[in-house]
Amino acid sequence: MKILSIDTSTVVATCAILDEEKVLGEFSLNQQVTHSENLIPMIKEMMDGLNLNIKDIDFFAGAVGPGSFTGIRIGIATIKGFAHVTKKKVIGVSTLEGLAFNVPYAKIVIPMIDGRRNRVYTGIYGWEKGKLLSMGNETIIDIDDFLRDLDIGFEKIVFNGDGALKYKEKIMNILKERAIFSPINLNMPRASGIGELAMVKINEGKAVDCYSLVPKYLREAQAQMDLIKRGY
């Protein structure tokens, strides 16, 4: 079984192909360039290097957000397009879950994606018996409010993601030595993690047709909010 997975929900564009035993290939770019310009060439270069055709892929997986609205749409549209053409099923994976998956076996992991305006997309995850579990609903929240409510119970908390880097000083001021920050290489989304999480969901019977894949925005797109303010 081969899975093609992608994540374009942040400034990082990443794609990977993996099977049940190993990551066959992975390609990531962390730069301020429209993902629509890079994603398909990245996928093509990776597949050419592996001597694979799109028809060799059994499932398609994509990060569904939260994150950049435009990025999420690009990723989901790409996955849906591949699945439609090949008549294969798809799996959606939370971007935050994928980030948390970068930090294996930490008791508490809090991934953070910068949501601008002093806000972060975040959630609380933990590892139990080798499985990553969500410990609450994902949300977008003011970082100060989140840290104030978080200041309970947990002895050590691992933070990762660009939101954690941006607000590192605030996090350390509140949680002090209880806050641990992941290494640089674990702070950006990785398509291989999305693919591995997708494999778990496939085995749980959660693969769906391409029409059923939906984004997870957590808030209205700015363009839509602007229209509402104007009375449209």
pLDDT in tens, 150-207: 866 678 999 999 999 999 999 999 999 999 999 999 999 999 999 999 999 999 999 9
Q: Is this structure's pTM higher than 0.85?
A: yes
Distance CA 140, CA 138 (A): 7
Spatial neighbors of 45 by CB under 8 A, at least 6 apart, are: 27
Distance CA 9, CA 30 (A): 12
Q: Which of 62, 141, 51, 142 is nearest to 95 (CA)?
A: 62
pLDDT score of 229 more than 90: no
| Model confidence pLDDT, tens digit, residues 90-134 | 999 999 999 999 999 899 999 999 999 999 999 999 999 999 999
Structural domains of the chain, with CATH: 3-95+189-229 (3.30.420.40), 103-186 (3.30.420.40)
The pLDDT > 90 percentage for the chain reads: 83
Of the candidate ranges 32-46, 88-102, 160-174, 212-226, the one whose mean pLDDT is the lowest: 212-226
| Identity of the amino acid at 58 | D
Please compute the mean of the pLDDT values over residues 10-37 and round it to a whole number: 91
Answer yes or no: are the C-beta atoms of 132 and 107 closer than 8 Å: no
The whole-chain average pLDDT of the chain stands at 91
Distance CA 181, CA 179 (A): 7
DSSP letter at 222?
A: H
Reported as half-sphere exposure (CB side, CA atoms, 13 A), residue 43 has a value of: 22
Ranges of beta strands (E only) in 32-129 are 59-63, 89-93, 109-116, 119-122, 125-128
Distance CA 111, CA 181 (A): 10
pLDDT, residue 152, reads 67
Answer yes or no: are the C-beta atoms of 102 and 186 closer than 8 Å: yes
The pLDDT > 70 percentage for the chain reads: 92
pLDDT score of 87 more than 50: yes
Band (pLDDT 50/70/90 cuts) for residue 37 is confident
Tokens found for residue 98: 């994928």
Looking up tokens 């840290």 gives 147
pLDDT, residue 32, reads 67
